[in-house]
Structure 1
């Protein structure tokens, strides 16, 4: 029996759409420089979530949701 991977859902509050982007970030006051946390985003919420993280100096890069680097999370 095949096991399906869990659906990737946008991290924006109240959104249930499929995520197509992974926003990699870290909070330098809490995380080591190489640590990457992940927020998922649909096309509609990508810009908003990137802006939220960027204003705080947390955003590091955005990649395809199916290309999240190993160890990020």
Structure 2
């Protein structure tokens, strides 16, 4: 059995229980310092939706694939 990326970490989309495969790094420039990053996790199905939500607000900074050893929960 092989470990999936983000094994044990779940997508941040409301009602989703799929394993996370993407880390969406963001910050709100009105309240966070420029180097601060918060993280939402996304499955393949919700990556675009969550990224668009953050991008429209000017919060999205990076979208990175989750490594199998990535345990950076939000």
**TM-score, normalised to structure 2's length?**
0.81
Q: Distance in 2 between matches of 1:56 and 1:49?
A: 11
Q: Distance in 1 between matches of 2:65 and 2:28?
A: 21
Q: Please give the secondary structure, in 2, of the residue aligned with 1:44.
A: coil
Long gaps (5+) in structure 2: 1-6
Instruction: Find the counterpart in structure 2 of residue 39 from structure 1.
Output: 40
Long gaps (5+) in structure 1: 1-5
Paired residues, number: 67
User: How far is 1:31 from its partner?
Assistant: 0.3
Supply the RMSD in Å over aligned alpha carbons: 2.3
**TM-score, normalised to structure 1's length?**
0.82
